[in-house]
Amino acid sequence: MKISVIKAEFKRLPTWLLLLVITLLALAPFYWLAAQSLKTRGEMYLYPPTLVPHEWAPDNYGRALRDPVFIRSYFNSLVVAASDIIAGLVVCSLAGYAFAKFRFPFHNLLFAIVLFSMMIPFHVVVIPLYLEVKKFGMLDSLLGVILPFIAKPFGVFFMRQYLLKIPDELLEAARMDGASELYIWGRIVLPLSKPACGVLACLFFVENWNMLLWPMIVLQSDKQQTVQLYLQRVIGVYNVDFGVLFAGAALAVLPIFLLFLFMQRQIIAGLTAGAIK
């Protein structure tokens, strides 16, 4: 019995080695970022570059964290990402619920328009969005960054496909008991769609946390800038503080890493939903 188990594990060895190589390749950029953030300014310019810092410089993080502009920018990014997650999940789940469980005039046409809007590049709508934000007086404000991207076509499509699995009989039973549609959405639909919401929450957070072009257009002052704008503005014309740049970039990666670490079960459940009948 033990010999057969050993043979079976030995057959899996190439698969494990391949997965190990892929994992190391995926982690290599993060290790390089962490190593660079702990190097002195002189060591950053060495060639060939050193894989392990000869002289540790943790003050790079200290200088970044002592900068009130960085702290404010970090907080602004958290506000933008969190607000977009909450508002985006509410809007996308409501729209997905309507497309999945209701039949109304032009139902298929409206859903086709949602799908078509996914194919429009963002650069095509930059100028109309800017004029709209300017007209409503939201320039140089976080609202100007958040509001235009609450209704996400992919989120509506994803939620609609997921909610199609919920039995109609369950919703009809709630309606027969006198439950309103908002009550059904909040107490039945949302709890049953937690895996899908977890996947969308991660996607929305990463998208908004890494957003650069739109905040660069809308936000002008240091008080309102996001962490990505802060890192972009650290790169000066004649001088670049690489210590603060790499330390700030490493700190900017941390929320995304923690989010995927704590929500990996919801992500796997959401992505594999429907794979098994």
- Identify whether residues 267 and 155 lie together within a single domain: yes
Residue 49: inside a domain: yes
Residue in this structure with the two tokens 């933008």, named with its chain if needed: 80
Q: Quick one: 3 exposed, middle or buried, by C-beta within 10 A (0-12, 13-18, 19+)? A: exposed
- Identify whether residues 40 and 104 lie together within a single domain: no
What pLDDT is recorded for position 104?
85
Listed residue (171, 202, 208, 210) closest to 189, CA to CA: 171
Mean pLDDT over 253-259 rounds to 86
Residue in this structure with the two tokens 């190391």, named with its chain if needed: 24
Listed residue (33, 217, 49) closest to 126, CA to CA: 217
- Identify whether residues 123 and 187 lie together within a single domain: yes
- Identify whether residues 153 and 21 lie together within a single domain: no
Flag whether pLDDT at 112 surpasses 70: yes
Residue 62: inside a domain: no
Instruction: Give me the domain span that covers residue 115.
Output: 72-271
Contact between 215 and 76 (Cβ < 8 Å): no
- Identify whether residues 77 and 211 lie together within a single domain: yes
- Domains in the chain, number: 2
- Identify whether residues 93 and 12 lie together within a single domain: no
Mean pLDDT over 161-190 rounds to 88
Mean pLDDT over 221-246 rounds to 82
Mean pLDDT over 53-69 rounds to 87
- Identify whether residues 187 and 134 lie together within a single domain: yes
In whole numbers, what is the pLDDT of the chain averaged over residues? 85
pTM of the predicted model as reported, rounded to 2 decimal places: 0.83
Residue 101: inside a domain: yes
Contact between 53 and 36 (Cβ < 8 Å): no
CATH code, domain carrying 77: 1.10.3720.10
DSSP one-letter code for 248: H
What pLDDT is recorded for position 4?
62
- Identify whether residues 261 and 214 lie together within a single domain: yes
Express each pLDDT in 188-219 by its tens digit: 898 888 888 888 888 899 888 988 889 999 98
Contacts 24+ apart (CB under 8 A), 269-272: 269/195, 269/198, 270/162, 270/195, 270/196, 270/197, 270/198, 270/199, 270/200, 271/199
What pLDDT is recorded for position 5?
57
The one-letter amino acid code at 252 reads: A
As a whole number of angstroms, the distance between CA 203 and CA 84 comes to: 11
What pLDDT is recorded for position 10?
67
